[in-house]
Every structure is written in C-alpha cells, then in structure tokens.
Structure 1
C-alpha cells in the first residue's frame, strides 16, 4: 500500500509540469501583444501629422496599456514557474536576473496581479474619458463601476493579506 501511495504522490508532484505549456502559451501571447504594440506605434506615427491631442494621448495610453500587460505576463510566467514548476537555478548568477525573481510568493503574485489589473482598468477608463463624447452615460457608469470594483477588491485583498501575515 505504501508503494501505491508513493507512486501516487510522485504522480501528483510531477503533474506540475503540465503547467509548462501554459507558460509557453503566455510567451506566445506576449509575441502577439508585441505585434499589436508595433501595429499601434505604426498607426500612431501614420496619424501624427493630422491627429488631435486626444487621439495622440489615447494612442500613447494604448501603448502603456500593452506594456503593462506584457510586464504583468513576465511576472506571472517567471514567478509562477519558479513557485509551481521548477527553480531556475542556472539563472541565479545572471546579471540581468530581476531581483524579485525567487522572492515573489503566491500571495505577492496575487497582489501584483490585482494592482496591475487596477492600473490597466484605470488606463482604459482614462481612454474612455478622453473619448467621452462618443460613449453613453450607461457605458461610462459601467466602466467606472467595474474599475471601482477592481480598486475595492484590491484594497480588501491587500488588507486581508496583511492581516494574515500578522
């Protein structure tokens, strides 16, 4: 019976490698976002001569939005891989290794994720405010409500996390 238990536990432990293709998929998603970023830069440059200030600001906010999502993906990919799949031992001495690698736990990752979602939602809301003439009051109310839900959820999660660490 102990042999079966050990085999089962090894199977469960090794199942963590099923996450590796998921992280590879997120790397592919970053490539797609990079393509979208390049397309957005090209669009912004092509409109530069006759674009309004609001269109330029919205274009730049879109670039910032993509950059935040890509940064969030890097944090998720690297820290989740190290937390759930395998340590990146060969990279410990690498000069470009981010300081946070290996130090972000699951709880810290969730806080960063919620913070990034709030920032991305804020950028989307700012873009909507820049284009307020083309949106209905109902649409704007939903956007503000959703953003505030993210903000309140983030604050509540941070408070719960802080209380649990005491």
Structure 2
C-alpha cells in the first residue's frame, strides 16, 4: 500500500474530532426545549387567567361570549399539547433519549416517535388549532368581512392538504405500513 492510500493518523484524529463535535452539537438544542417549557408556563398562566375571568363574569356574559372564551381555553390546551409534542418528541428524536420506557405515565406516541411521525402529529395539532380559530371567526362572522373569512378558510384547507401530504409521504416512506403499536 502506498502512503497516499493509507489514512494519515492526523487525518483520522481530525475526522474523529469533527465527528464528535458535530455529534455533541445536538445539545445546543436543549436550551431551546427548556425555553419552550417556559413558554408553556406562560400558556398555563394565560389559561388560568381566562378561566378565572369566565368564572367571575359569566353572569354578565352572553352565550356567544362564553363560547368564545371556552374556545380560547380549548385553543390554549391544544397549543400546550403541541408544545409537549415538540418538547418531548423533539428532544427524544434529536438530542437524547428520555428513558421513560415502561413508566406508567409514558405517552403512548413516544414509543414510536420519529421525525416523520412527529411532523404528522404536529400537522394534526396545527389543524386542530386552526379549526378552533376558524370556528371563532365563524361565530363572530358578522364582525368580519368576507375576504377575511375566505382567506382563513383557504389557509385552513392548506393546513389540511399539507397534513395529508405529510401523512402520505410518511406512509410511502414506511413502505405503506404504519409502525405497530407497542403495548406495555
């Protein structure tokens, strides 16, 4: 073997250092997930603030106002669910295992999370959140112009088509088979 065909020891060491650095760079995402936990805390405060407002003032509210506040509460819960999926699923997929396997509170979806499954779940959550906003707009339709309602509906349909596309791509990528559910 000639020297040009042999790997130089410095080259191998440099390759190892670069590879290790790239591998450990995933930990740069950990503060982002911690920040999302803080954002979720803000949503918890918002939820309780709106719930207290509903309880204190419901006697002076119309049914429409109560419905809008309740839809707002549902919206906050759905956004919090979205945050949990991003925090847990993203951390588990891209940073490190959480090692909660077998824990009685382990979310069912965590056992088969991967980037494609996470994308489909996120898309479905976004559709749910969009549905709440669209429903709120239809309830308040007399205060909105037709163009606003039309564009909100078009955007909502775009979310639906995107989710269908992501699910189709995921199904095609898995050979048309969904992962078998794992039961504990």
State the TM-score, normalizing by the size of structure 1.
Answer: 0.95
Higher helix share: 1
Quick check: which has more Rg, 1 or 2? 2
Aligned-partner Cα distance in 2 for 1:96–1:118:
26
Counterpart-to-counterpart distance in 2, 1:10 and 1:100: 30
In the TM superposition, residue 32 of structure 1 has moved relative to its aligned partner by: 0.5
Unaligned runs of 5+ in 1: none
| 2:101 equivalent in structure 1 | 92
The yes-or-no answer on 1:135 pairing with 2:122 is no
Q: Compute the displacement of 1:16 (Å).
A: 0.3
Structure 2 unaligned runs (5+)?
1-10, 176-184
Tell me whether 1:164 sits opposite 2:173 in the alignment.
yes
Q: Which residue of 2 aligns with 1:18?
A: 28
Residue matched to 2:49? 39
8 Å Cα contact 1:79-1:102 kept in structure 2: no
TM-score, with normalisation over the residues of structure 2?
0.86
Corresponding residue of 1:83: 93
In 1, distance between residues paired with 2:126 and 2:102?
32
